[in-house]
Amino acid sequence: MADKDHQNQTIIIGAGIVGSSLAYFLSQSSPETNILVLDRSISDIVGSTGYAPGFIGQYNEKPSLTKLAIDSVKEYTKLNTGFSRVGGLELASTDAGIKTLQSRLDASEKAGLPARLLDETEIVKLELPIAGSNAGTAALFFPDDGVAEPKVLCSAYRSMASENGVRFQEASVSEIVMAGDAVTGVRLESGEIVSCSKLVLATGIWTASLLRKSSDIPSVPVVPVSHPYIYSRVRDHEVSPTPFMRWPESHVYARDHGARYGVGTYDHAPQHVSSPGHTATVPWQDELFNPAVTRAIANRFSADAGFTKHPPFGAEKIGGVFSVTPDNIPLLGPVAGVEGLWMAVAIWVTHAAGCARLLEKMILGEAYDEAIARDLHPGRFEGRSGEELEVTALKQYNDIYSTDC
């Protein structure tokens, strides 16, 4: 490739579901665009995409996130792989919790998302892997929600992008190269400099560490945190697909992975991962995770769900890592004061394709939803101290499944 072509190319750092879907959308809408996607691992998906549980619940008390989730589901259903519309359940057993479900039902209907409340009898008919008679329990059912296989979705976007001429290269970026206030390329760990006119950071949990090496670029409050997720033993019998389940009052969620169940919990003190490693995982932290998972499992699941009440709880346990922000909203859009630099970070699979579509329109200068773009703008925290923003972001961890309306 000629040097001039290198200078005019768009580089995306990060080949997870956000970077890969963005590469596909850009190559689809603007075939002449020169696109290179760089990632430390192309052969294996080692970022948060590779370990995400894959829950796709579309309604959120933040309207922007609801719209991005709806847009994402529209995109995922076009792929005919990696997404199953099995529905989603929010369960509550207290008067306050059930009242909140009613409020969320009203709000979701106003947002155009179908939902209905289920009583104890209707919950039993779903044949969920949960314990007890469900006495006093109600559930809010979202029939259009579902579960994703994030690696499958990511691989599909990579394949389609490659067919459109996008190049994927396995390489680690050590530094962003600038001339004045403009991005001109990236320096790889090998020392090679690759030129570009536009650079998109889809770097997830590694965003802060990359920006620390680039003093001319303002830091952003993207805080990596650890999170426990466990898988049950593989079932020795087939079961019908069931909706994913969330217990917002307990900060617990669960889904059927086909041959086994998975459970995660936010019911523990948030743990900042200051220096993420090669993968979006950390060693299992017994003192932090075991009590939280014990509470999540206790009296919640039936015996045939395949969990045990005590460690190791099931067949596999993962200390995953993902990013939080001070308002639990992604950072997406141009970076103020740095020409040619764009950001798409702290994005869940739930919102990934919707965010990628939005950023594609922004990069290509097409019409886009400006209200959502303002909500997600990377510079919205300007003027606040990094220490304050980190503390605020960590507090958001336990409110990820908040159902306040």
**For each successive 10 residues of the chain (405 residues), what is the average pLDDT?**
63 98 96 94 96 97 97 97 97 94 96 96 91 76 98 98 98 96 96 97 97 86 97 89 94 95 96 96 97 95 92 95 97 96 98 98 97 97 94 90 49
Q: In what order do the strands lie in the sheet with 331-334?
A: 167-170, 35-39, 10-13, 198-201, 341-345, 331-334
pTM of the model: 0.95
Strands (E) across 99-239 are located at 116-118, 138-142, 146-148, 167-170, 173-179, 182-188, 193-195, 198-201, 223-231
Does 87-146+223-324 carry CATH code 3.30.9.10?
yes
Give span(s): CATH 3.30.9.10, the chain: 87-146+223-324
273 token code pair: 């991962």
The pLDDT value recorded for residue 236 is 84
Q: How far apart (Å, rounded) are the C-alpha atoms in residues 121 and 267?
A: 29
Which of 173, 167, 114 shows the shortest CA–CA distance to 143? 114
The pLDDT value recorded for residue 7 is 66
381 token code pair: 């925290």
Cα torsion angle, 196, 27, 12, 161, sign? negative
Give span(s): CATH 3.50.50.60, the chain: 3-50+151-221+327-386
Q: Which amino acid is at 129?
A: P
Q: How far apart (Å, rounded) are the C-alpha atoms in residues 226 and 341?
A: 28
Residues contacting residue 56 through CB under 8 Å, at least 6 positions apart: 69, 72, 73, 76, 83, 88, 145, 146, 147, 148, 349, 350
Place of tokens 């900060």: 251
Q: Which amino acid is at 149?
A: E
The pLDDT value recorded for residue 2 is 41
Q: How far apart (Å, rounded) are the C-alpha atoms in residues 320 and 283?
A: 9
Q: Can you name the residues that pair with 127 across neighbouring β-strands?
A: none
Instruction: Give Dmax over CA atoms of the chain in angstroms.
Output: 70
* 245 backbone dihedrals φ, ψ, rounded to 5°: -125, 140
H/E element, 69: helix 63-79
Cα torsion angle, 299, 300, 302, 303, sign? negative
Q: Torsion angle, CA of 166/147/93/114, rounded to 10 degrees?
A: 90
Q: Which CATH number fits domain 3-50+151-221+327-386: 3.80.10.10, 3.20.20.210, 3.30.70.100, 3.50.50.60?
A: 3.50.50.60
